[in-house]
């Protein structure tokens, strides 16, 4: 079963420097029917204005994945990590027992990104940060593992996270179809970053989301302009909401 979550129906907050759309309840946006899917707790669609960003602030016990769609985000934390993550690449921060970090758009144009929070399988671990490039050519026509708790997926190039989940990314040519078998046989969250897509016949537009539940796999077919897609393959840790 596939339950669409159209972009137009997401939670929304415009702070001027930050224009944020929330797939799940976050900050001042609260919907008891949208509290997450399995261990996936947050999927924010953010546009950050030039020369602005999030000053130093704390996190703990959360796996935070940032997927940059356009522009770049510059990270700094109290551990001494510093890096610039550009469009198509990701950074992963395991907040663990506590981390202070700041993220800014130092570019001359808007930066757009997805920020994804996954509840870890273990709490109180040492915090860490890592970024990795995922060239466009490597994701052409394939669901490539970007971040994962699986040893197999990490061996295939995914950045480690502390949960038995995998975030995949793909770039599909117009009309191209991909079939994916859900690792845990039942639960996932799909977002179309660009283009249009049909997920088992369900039409999705740019920046739409969809919950995949109670089915073993999913078939993805790109629309006339192709599609950039992210798929979180999730363990069934909580009831669907």
Q: Residue 238 pLDDT more than 50?
A: no
- Pick the range with the lowest mean pLDDT from 32-41, 210-219, 232-241: 232-241
Extents of the domains making up the chain:
2-233
- Pick the range with the lowest mean pLDDT from 14-23, 180-189, 195-204: 180-189
- pLDDT given at position 138: 86
Q: Between these two residues, 2 and 241, which has the higher pLDDT value?
A: 2
Q: What is the CATH number of domain 2-233?
A: 2.60.120.10
Q: Residue 240 pLDDT more than 50?
A: no
| pTM higher than 0.75 | yes
- pLDDT given at position 137: 85
pLDDT tens digits, one per residue of 87-120: 999 999 999 999 999 999 999 999 999 999 999 9
Give 239's pLDDT tier (boundaries 50, 70, 90): very low
pLDDT tens digits, one per residue of 131-186: 999 988 889 999 999 999 999 999 999 999 999 999 999 999 999 999 999 987 68
**Average pLDDT across the chain, whole number:** 95
Q: Residue 241 pLDDT more than 50?
A: no
Give 236's pLDDT tier (boundaries 50, 70, 90): confident
E-strand stretches of the chain: 2-5, 11-14, 18-22, 40-48, 52-59, 63-70, 72-77, 82-86, 90-94, 99-105, 111-118, 128-132, 144-148, 159-160, 166-172, 177-181, 187-199, 202-204, 209-213, 217-233
């Amino acid at each position: 079963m596939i339950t669409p979550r159209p972009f137009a129906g997401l939670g929304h907050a415009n702070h001027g420097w930050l224009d944020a759309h929330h797939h799940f309840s976050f900050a001042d946006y609260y919907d008891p029917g949208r509290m997450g899917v399995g261990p996936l707790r947050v999927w924010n669609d953010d546009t950050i204005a030039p020369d602005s960003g999030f000053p130093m602030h704390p996190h703990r016990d959360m796996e935070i994945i940032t997927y940059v769609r356009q522009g770049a985000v510059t990270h700094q934390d109290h551990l001494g990590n510093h890096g610039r993550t550009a469009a198509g690449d990701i950074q992963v921060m395991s907040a663990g027992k506590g981390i202070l970090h700041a993220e800014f758009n130092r570019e001359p144009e808007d930066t757009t990104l997805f920020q994804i929070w996954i509840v870890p399988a273990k709490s109180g671990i040492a915090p860490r940060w890592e970024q990795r490039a995922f060239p466009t050519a490597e994701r052409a026509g394939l669901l490539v593992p970007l971040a994962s708790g699986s040893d197999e997926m990490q061996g295939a190039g995914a950045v480690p996270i502390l949960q038995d989940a995998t975030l995949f990314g793909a770039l599909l040519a117009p009309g191209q179809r991909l079939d994916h078998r859900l690792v845990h046989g039942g639960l996932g969250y799909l977002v179309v970053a660009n283009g249009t897509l049909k997920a088992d016949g369900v039409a999705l537009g740019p920046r739409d989301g969809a919950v995949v539940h109670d089915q073993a796999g999913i078939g993805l077919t790109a629309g006339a302009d192709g599609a950039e897609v992210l798929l979180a393959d999730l363990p069934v840790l909580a009831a669907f909401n």
